[in-house]
Amino acid sequence: MPSYRSVLTIGALGAGHGPLDVERAARDAVEAITTLESFRIDVVRGEPRVTARFTGADDAEAREVHARTTAAVRSVAGVPRARLAAVVAGRSVYLG
């Protein structure tokens, strides 16, 4: 089964929410639909970033998982950028 990555840049946290709420929202959104392969929170160029790697039957299912994950995280924090990538030979190939 193919792997995909949702890469979300995290902005300001919503009132009453903390970093663990961001992690919980992202993990729960992915795990409700498919298998979460890995999860990371990094700071890249001074911006917090969530990367969730998951399995998907095809690009359509991956887009659904990505949309739900983005919506879930937006319920607790700002998400100025969200990108979906297929994992090909260990590298991210971003989907348009």
Q: Going residue by residue through the chain, which has 96 residues, state the pLDDT in tens, using 9 for 90 and above.
A: 899 999 999 999 999 999 999 999 999 999 999 999 999 999 999 999 999 999 999 999 999 999 999 999 999 999 999 999 999 998 999 998
Task: Give the separation between CA 47 and CA 54, rounded to whole angstroms.
Answer: 22
Tell me if 36 sits within 8 A of 53, measured CB to CB. Answer: yes
Residue 53: φ, ψ to 5°: -100, 130
Distance of CA 46 to the CA centre of its chain: 18
Residue 29: φ, ψ to 5°: -65, -45
Q: Report the run of H or E that residue 49 belongs to, with start and end.
A: strand 47-55
Q: Report the run of H or E that residue 65 belongs to, with start and end.
A: helix 59-74
User: Domain residues of the chain, as ranges?
Assistant: 3-91
- The predicted structure's pLDDT at residue 1: 87
Q: Which CATH number fits domain 3-91: 3.50.50.60, 3.40.50.720, 2.40.50.180, 3.30.70.260?
A: 3.30.70.260
Tell me if 26 sits within 8 A of 73, measured CB to CB. Answer: yes
Q: Is the pTM of this model over 0.75?
A: yes
- The predicted structure's pLDDT at residue 59: 97
